[in-house]
Amino acid sequence: MVCHNRDPNLAGSKGPAIAGSSRELVADRILYLKYPPGYKPKRTTHNMRAQPQLKNKIDDLVAFLAEAAKKK
């Protein structure tokens, strides 16, 4: 919430809007700080840090972001 907005449909102070992000993107960014092949980043900053402790929560995060996208 510090970098991304509390509302995933809105950009945050450092991170872009992330509502509707694919599972592949979420997993790659959170676990490995990389992007899926062919993905064009919305921002060019490199402030994000890996959060491997969230490995078992990826599906929950993707479900939350999918629901948020429906409210857009």
Tens digit of pLDDT per residue, the chain (72 long)?
A: 688 999 999 999 999 999 999 999 999 999 999 999 999 998 888 889 999 999 999 999 999 999 999 987
- 1 closest CA partner among 44, 59, 63, 61: 61
User: What residues have CB less than 8 Å from 51, skipping those under 6 apart?
Assistant: 30, 31
Checking 48-57 for CB contacts under 8 A at 24+ apart, the result is 48/3, 48/15, 54/30, 55/31
For the question of whether the overall pTM of this predicted structure is more than 0.75, the answer is: yes
Q: Can you read off the two tokens belonging to residue 37?
A: 């092949």
